[in-house]
Amino acid sequence: MNEADNSQRTLKDRRKCPTPVISRYTFWGGRRKTIRRESEKKTSYFVDIYSTRLLVAVLVLLSLSCVDAFLTLSLIEKGRVVEANPIMAFFLDLGVFHFSMVKFVITAIALIVLCLFKNVNITRIALPVAIKIYLAVIIYEIYLYMI
């Protein structure tokens, strides 16, 4: 491309600024699945298309959160435990529906944020760790339920 061609350009070069975290591509799709340039590996980057693996991890975490809520409510009803989290205890005092909805919404919002930042190193670590923590909590709750 020579200088004459460059001067006739009327559109702004789209690569001058990165795609924002929330853009039209976040909700209606795009084309980027992975990073293409070595220089971008040093910074946080966002993609338009998410992997099936990420979808499975998100659905597993959301399911584990629901199982945790159910087991927690069952154990509280049996009188074996009390809700240790003061925020969730507040919503539990308002009712089971409020407790369940707040737990679901908080988990869903956290998972949306993790999806948006899926290529940041801490997220790559946080998703599998969160699954393992939830599994440990659920195993412990099942143990409490059985004794």
Confidence of residue 52 (pLDDT cuts 50, 70, 90): confident
Question: Mean pLDDT across the stretch 11-15?
Answer: 59
- Estimate the crossing angle of helix 96-116 against helix 86-94, to 10 degrees: 140
Domain ranges of the chain: 1-49, 51-147
| Per-residue pLDDT at 60 exceeds 60 | yes
The whole-number pLDDT of residue 116 equals 82
Tokens of 126: 């946080």
Quickly list H helices, the chain: 3-7, 24-28, 52-78, 86-94, 96-116, 121-146
Question: pTM value?
Answer: 0.70
